[in-house]
């Protein structure tokens, strides 16, 4: 799995226009885009292209015809077309494997987009009815928020694995038998942050800022009694408050938080005789503090800090992150190395080093299998809990990393996900049942809605589910609900 992978991907979030001419014109859209490339210009070019593709898919009828026509679509993206009226760099970083990642803010004119479409002389149209624009803007904001956060956590997956250096501390040997033939040596591995943690923190904070609901919009949400989710971030003594729209977006962030132990446990210990990996039990599990600056916190509730990075409320009333900066202790692992005296006499002493990147992010997901350019990835987060028909439909409509083509995994694929990711502590799977795409030959009674009860028993086909808590499959009727974690084959 240690293979170099690269994809130029982008993701986009449509923001409410708030300043200058964007506020005066309801047909100008502010678009936040994250682009990747081997160079910064390549990342910017990809950001422009995907931003235009996303806007086109929402505001242009028969947009698929346009997007698939590379000549016509390419003309819309150019500076000469003038549809993208401004481009502003928000933040730019170089990530592992020399990937340039940039957050861009574009302003896109729907008036100019409509004029360009009309010039093509096709049956495509751009509806500029102000009520339609408002509705489409709101729907697109919510969909894109989920995609942005999902991609953000994937982008940070590799640099987070490089964010820790390690120290090994050995205690005095202790005899474990009366003859002093067997001994145990207490060992402690300390994970300490390096410069990469600041790279991740700064990129995370700037991206969250760019997609956050504006303060004025939060007040509108409160007035309309609409749900929104505060996200509080602490970093180098500063507190940041941002606001998200969707529960599923928070679930994606929780999956990222739950990778913390995986990120800090990536070490190899050598004794001079042999090597071991990621040993020990995690210590420093503590409740730390109440964020006094988080004004929306319910009275009497604390934020919990897990290993210096994880602050969260199980009910998703709010989420919190406490990013460390370099040269801080992030995690402590302790265990006893038990050996006979014959081995201890041959040991040369303990050394520890980072393992580096062992899990890769590629075309929107974490790599499960990659061989000769083919394989599959799994989405970085669950997309919900639903019945099988709903799950199949949700996968087909999903876009992560700027790509579609997601599907439910087969029984063999989800078993590999269990071994490759879940058992190593990656991606925040629940120890519960997940859908596969594998229908069973049997059938059973459904649990019909009340309106159908008078019509007699309803028979549903069985589908294979996989329970990560048991590590095994179970056939259940497809009308029941399970978690959904899509995969994408390539």
pLDDT tens for the chain, 490 residues long, are 444 333 333 334 444 333 333 333 578 888 888 888 999 999 999 999 988 988 888 889 888 888 888 899 999 999 999 999 999 999 999 998 888 999 999 999 999 999 999 998 878 888 888 888 888 888 778 877 887 888 899 899 999 999 999 999 999 999 999 888 899 999 999 999 999 999 999 999 999 999 999 888 888 888 888 889 989 898 998 999 999 998 888 888 888 988 999 999 999 999 999 999 988 888 753 333 333 333 443 333 333 343 333 334 446 778 888 889 999 888 899 999 999 999 999 999 999 999 999 999 998 899 999 999 999 999 999 999 999 999 999 999 888 877 889 999 999 999 999 999 999 888 789 899 999 999 876 555 555 544 444 455 667 789 999 999 999 999 999 999 999 999 999 9
| pLDDT for res 210 | 93
CA dihedral 249, 254, 255, 257 (to 10 degrees): 130
By the 8 A CB rule, do 468 and 434 touch? yes
Residue 118's contacts (CB-CB under 8 Å, 6 or more residues apart) are none
Which parts of 318-364 are beta strand (E)?
A: 319-323, 329-340, 351-354, 361-362
Is beta strand 319-323 parallel, antiparallel or unpaired with respect to 285-289? unpaired
- Measured CA angle at 260 (ends 257, 261), to 5 deg: 135
pTM as predicted: 0.82
- Measured CA angle at 354 (ends 353, 359), to 5 deg: 155
Q: How far apart are CA 434 and CA 428, in angstroms?
A: 13
Please report, for the chain, the start and end positions of each structural domain, with discontinuous segments joined by +.
10-155, 160-354, 374-489
| pLDDT for res 315 | 60
How many CB atoms are located within 10 Å of the residue 267 CB?
23
- Which residue blocks in 83-214 are alpha helix, DSSP H? 110-120, 130-155, 157-161, 195-211
Q: Which pair of structure tokens corresponds to residue 445?
A: 């009674």
Q: Which pair of structure tokens corresponds to residue 191?
A: 């994970």
Q: How far apart are CA 264 and CA 453, in angstroms?
A: 53
For the domain spanning 374-489, the CATH number is 3.10.100.10
How many CB atoms are located within 10 Å of the residue 197 CB?
26
- Which residue blocks in 10-39 are alpha helix, DSSP H? 20-24
For 422, what's the count of Cα atoms within 13 Å in the CB-facing half-sphere? 23
Q: How far apart are CA 286 and CA 329, in angstroms?
A: 14
Q: What's the chain's Rg over C-alpha atoms?
A: 25
By the 8 A CB rule, do 283 and 297 touch? no
Q: How far apart are CA 422 and CA 277, in angstroms?
A: 17
Is beta strand 319-323 parallel, antiparallel or unpaired with respect to 229-235? parallel
- Measured CA angle at 364 (ends 371, 480), to 5 deg: 100
Strand partners, 407: 487
How many CB atoms are located within 10 Å of the residue 319 CB?
23
Q: How far apart are CA 296 and CA 62, in angstroms?
A: 43
For 437, what's the count of Cα atoms within 13 Å in the CB-facing half-sphere? 16
Q: Is 184 exposed, middle or buried (0-12, 13-18, 19+ CB in 10 A)?
A: middle
| pLDDT for res 7 | 35
């Amino acid at each position: 799995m240690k293979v170099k992978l690269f994809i130029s991907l982008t993701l986009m979030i449509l923001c409410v226009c708030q300043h200058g001419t964007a506020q005066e014109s309801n047909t100008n859209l502010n678009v936040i885009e994250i682009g990747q490339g081997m160079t910064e210009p390549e990342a910017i070019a990809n950001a422009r292209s995907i931003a235009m593709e996303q806007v086109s898919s929402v505001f242009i009828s028969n947009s698929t015809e346009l997007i698939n026509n590379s000549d016509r679509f390419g003309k819309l993206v150019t500076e000469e077309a003038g549809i993208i009226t401004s481009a502003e760099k928000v933040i730019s970083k170089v990530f592992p494997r020399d990937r340039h990642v940039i957050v861009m803010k574009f302003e896109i004119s729907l008036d100019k987009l409509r004029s360009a479409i009309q010039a093509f002389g096709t049956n495509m149209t751009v509806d500029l009815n102000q009520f339609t624009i408002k509705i489409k803007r709101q729907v697109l904001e919510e969909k894109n928020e989920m995609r942005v956060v999902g991609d953000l956590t994937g982008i940070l997956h590799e640099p987070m694995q490089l964010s820790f250096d390690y120290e090994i501390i050995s205690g005095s040997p202790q005899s474990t038998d009366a003859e002093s033939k067997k001994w145990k040596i207490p060992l402690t591995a300390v994970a300490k942050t390096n410069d990469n943690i600041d790279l991740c923190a700064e990129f995370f904070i700037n991206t969250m800022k760019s997609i956050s609901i504006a303060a004025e919009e939060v007040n509108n949400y409160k007035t309309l009694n609409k749900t929104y989710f505060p996200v509080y971030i602490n970093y180098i003594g500063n507190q940041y408050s941002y606001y998200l729209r969707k529960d599923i977006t928070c679930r994606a962030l929780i999956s990222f938080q739950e990778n913390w132990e995986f990120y800090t446990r990536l070490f190899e210990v050598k004794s001079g005789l042999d090597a071991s990996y990621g040993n020990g039990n995690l210590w420093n599990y503590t409740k730390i503090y109440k964020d006094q600056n988080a004004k929306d916190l319910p009275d009497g509730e604390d934020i919990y800090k897990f290993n210096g990075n994880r602050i969260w409320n199980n009910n998703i009333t709010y989420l919190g992150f406490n990013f460390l900066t370099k040269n801080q202790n992030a995690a402590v692992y302790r265990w006893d190395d038990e050996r006979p005296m014959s081995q201890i006499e041959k040991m040369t002493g303990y050394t520890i080093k980072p393992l580096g990147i062992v899990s890769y992010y590629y075309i929107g997901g974490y790599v499960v299998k990659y061989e000769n350019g083919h394989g599959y990835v799994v989405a970085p987060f669950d997309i919900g809990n639903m019945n099988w028909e709903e799950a199949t439909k949700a996968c087909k409509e999903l876009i992560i990393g700027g790509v579609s083509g997601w599907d439910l995994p087969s029984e063999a694929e989800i078993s590999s996900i269990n071994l490759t990711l879940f058992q190593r502590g990656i991606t925040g799977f629940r120890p519960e049942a997940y859908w596969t795409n594998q229908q069973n030959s049997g059938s059973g009674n459904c649990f019909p809605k009340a309106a159908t009860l008078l019509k007699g028993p309803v028979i549903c086909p069985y589908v294979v589910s996989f329970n990560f808590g048991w590590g095994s499959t179970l056939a259940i009727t497809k009308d029941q609900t399970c978690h959904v974690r899509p995969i994408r084959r390539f």
